Structure 1
């Protein structure tokens, strides 16, 4: 069975634990529940199937039944906190705690790099900017970023990008991008992408006030459509986005880093059939 630090879903860990025990001995969900001290013989099966959530008092019971101690117990507890979180803020808090615990115990968890990279827009910005400024000091790189960032932060970001193999530092001190993509689990990547989109949108708001109209391009359309038309529009956006990537990849004389946000979002709830009848 894989180490618990390779899991991002506590339910998957519980299923794998059950399967491992069942392969080597007579083991049932009833026995699993009994070992943990639960009155209901089906409770842990329901939890592992995603039909209910492991309660706070149940965390210690389930962990004890699976023989988890020390850091493994703490990691499992935080996995439960992440899996049971009701919103992005709670999920982000659990991920930060996971990363802190992993660093303290000198253990690298699967999602740590993805979360750190997408949590702060400065990481992708510095990844793009550093190769454009050969042998520049941390302070010189920081001075080119339009939102506030210190030389010390640039130093730490560059160290992380090199360690995560997202940048390569050459013998002459220059940087170049690697082809490595930022990877994470199916549970974490949607969360960190939402976090990045939100923070990039905040930078877009700042750009309206700080940058001249010659340096930025903002436009918007308020329109009434239905789901079918929405689907057509999003397909066209995907085609356009890929075309923009191809155009950007053709650029060989890069001198600046830009962000392009493509956003289509609802401004109202859907009008029901009864709403439409009233209009008539």
Structure 2
């Protein structure tokens, strides 16, 4: 039996699973599938699943109906198609929030919804650390140590969400515990939209720290360097390995003294250099 469409975050995967399920039980073909959906080309939906073309809004509705989707499931499928076609992060964010609203209205769990909410704001990640580090602390006490300042109501809301999402548990003494010491965004592309928002917030906090904190309380450094595509990929792998080493260091701590943020950024400062026009690259230089 197929999973509900609300358990998917890629409309192509749902179409392909639907086709495979029909094919398993009958002599169903791509041509028949396309005909039922009202497409002139018998291979159109296969090309969609192969990533060689994409559905548009009207085609999404016809395909959903051909797969027997009705009501909120049809609406959800159309939103999946709209999400993939969105050109900006704001459009993607709006689509996913509509998916969440559909799920809440119909009491259906939307895959990735909790992690989307978690990464949408910096408050949840900070409160998640402080709740464990400050056993017995009231929301107003947790709020007072946050930078920037947040309200006790914000902390209470965050704690309720973290408990509901299973990111924190609470024992009989009222103390909080993390269900996992580290979190990953996984491979859900919807979560990436929220992570984008979080990275922007953390980047802004970094600028504030650069201006407002003494050097003894913050560490900033960087490298401006010329790279090739191969060395760029190696640097990305090295950053990933470095992150894992950092997590292993802090995981060994029994108690924490403060919550810190480590930003790692790698981005181009120039367009790709064509050696027919330019024959020079600067040496690596640390700042």
Q: TM-score, normalised by structure 2?
A: 0.88
CA contact (8 A) 1:34 1:41 kept: yes
Aligned residues: 279
Q: Deviation string for 1:169-222 (max 9, x for gaps)?
A: 111222111227456544334444444333321221222233332221112232
Q: Which residue of 1 aligns with 2:49?
A: 48
Q: Which residue of 2 aligns with 1:176?
A: 177
Kindly report which structure 2 residues correspond to 1:17-166, keeping only aligned pairs within 5 A, or say none: 17-166=18-167
CA contact (8 A) 1:168 1:176 kept: yes
Distance 1:88 1:213, change over 3 A: same
Specify the SS of the correspondent of 1:176.
Answer: strand
CA contact (8 A) 1:114 1:182 kept: no
Structure 1 vs Structure 2 CA RMSD: 2.3
| Pairing partner for 1:199 from 175, 198, 201 | 201
Find the aligned partners of 1:241 and 1:31 in 2 and give their Cα distance. Answer: 50
Kindly report which structure 2 residues correspond to 1:216-235, keeping only aligned pairs within 5 A, or say none: 216-235=218-237
Find the aligned partners of 1:30 and 1:238 in 2 and give their Cα distance. Answer: 45
Distance 1:107 1:235, change over 3 A: closer
Distance 1:204 1:183, change over 3 A: closer
Q: TM-score, normalised by structure 1?
A: 0.90
Find the aligned partners of 2:242 and 2:13 in 1 and give their Cα distance. Answer: 38
Q: Deviation string for 1:76-101 (max 9, x for gaps)?
A: 11111122223333222211111121
Which consecutive residues of structure 2, in runs of 5 or more, have no partner in the other structure?
Answer: 282-287
Specify the SS of the correspondent of 1:214.
Answer: helix
Displacement after TM superposition at 1:260 (Å) = 0.7
Find the aligned partners of 2:52 and 2:167 in 1 and give their Cα distance. Answer: 39
Which shows bigger deviation, 141-150 or 59-68? 141-150
Which consecutive residues of structure 1, in runs of 5 or more, have no partner in the other structure?
Answer: none
Distance 1:273 1:193, change over 3 A: same
Distance 1:269 1:44, change over 3 A: same
Find the aligned partners of 2:38 and 2:106 in 1 and give their Cα distance. Answer: 30
Distance 1:184 1:160, change over 3 A: farther
Displacement after TM superposition at 1:37 (Å) = 1.7
Which shows bigger deviation, 99-108 or 269-278? 269-278
Find the aligned partners of 2:114 and 2:127 in 1 and give their Cα distance. Answer: 15
Distance 1:111 1:29, change over 3 A: same
